[in-house]
């Protein structure tokens, strides 16, 4: 209230050029809202399907998982060496995988040791499933249940398992497809 009175008292004493409006600042548009997504989900680089739910993933640029010894070993990722502009992008070593973090729960670390878990609409046998998978260029490793609806299909370690699982899920030929995730164990 006191400020309003002071402004009212001082305003008549100002010179005329002080009353002119200041030049307007250029309009800066506001950033678009992320429609309920967390910032980490908006920055997601990959995704996977957990049943019918699409889950966002972010690659942990500092870690990689090595499955070559039969057991997962997390290691610091080496900094890329300088290279020519037209040099091909670095390729992950066989048996290794990037480490992913769930965009919605960044504490969870995941990696891809190889394989994808496939759920069929109806029970089927291995030969019938292999015929269904032949257009996708993959082979059945083994059944995961006695009912013949959950199967492990073969992929190399790394992004190949994620890409195949997404492609199989999006084809609509199967009830579900998900990567064969390795998850870091946390002691409670």
The rounded Cα 175 to chain-centroid distance in angstroms is: 22
Percent of the chain topping pLDDT 70:
68
pLDDT bracket for residue 29 (50, 70, 90): very low
- Domain range summary for the chain, segments of one domain joined by +: 39-77+94-183
100 CB neighbour count, 10 Å cutoff: 26
Locate tokens 């006695």: which residue?
146
Whether residue 2 is predicted with pLDDT greater than 90 in this model: the reply is: no
pTM > 0.85: no
Q: Per mean pLDDT, which range of 38-47, 52-61, 113-122 is the poorest?
A: 38-47
pLDDT bracket for residue 146 (50, 70, 90): very high
* CB distance 144 to 133 below 8 Å: no
Strand partners, 177: 118
Tokens of 43: 């920055």
Listed in sequence order, the residues at least 6 apart from 78 whose beta carbon sits closer than 8 Å to its beta carbon are: none
Locate tokens 């992929």: which residue?
155
CA distances to 12, 52, 61, 92, 158 from 80, in Å? 67, 37, 11, 12, 18
* CB distance 97 to 160 below 8 Å: no
Whether residue 62 is predicted with pLDDT greater than 70 in this model: the reply is: yes
57 CB neighbour count, 10 Å cutoff: 22
What's the rounded mean pLDDT across residues 4-20? 51
What's the rounded mean pLDDT across residues 66-86? 70
Range 140-144, long-range pairs (CB < 8 A, 24+ positions): 141/115, 144/117
């Amino acid at each position: 209230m006191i400020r309003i009175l002071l402004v009212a008292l001082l305003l008549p004493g100002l010179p005329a050029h002080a009353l002119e409006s200041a030049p307007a600042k250029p309009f800066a548009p506001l950033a678009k809202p992320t429609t309920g997504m967390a910032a980490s989900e908006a920055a997601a680089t990959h995704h996977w399907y957990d049943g019918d739910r699409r889950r966002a993933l972010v690659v942990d640029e500092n870690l990689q998982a090595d499955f070559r010894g039969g057991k997962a070993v997390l290691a610091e990722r080496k900094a890329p060496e300088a290279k020519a502009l037209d040099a091909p992008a670095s390729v992950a070593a066989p048996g290794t995988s990037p480490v992913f973090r769930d965009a919605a729960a960044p504490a969870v670390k995941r990696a891809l040791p190889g394989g994808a878990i496939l759920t069929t609409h109806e029970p089927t046998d291995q030969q019938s499933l292999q015929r269904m998978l032949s257009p996708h260029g993959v082979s059945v490793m083994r059944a995961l249940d006695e009912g013949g609806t959950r199967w492990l299909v073969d992929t190399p370690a790394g992004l190949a398992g994620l890409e195949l699982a997404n492609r199989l899920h999006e084809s609509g030929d199967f009830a579900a497809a998900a990567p064969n995730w390795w998850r870091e164990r946390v002691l409670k």
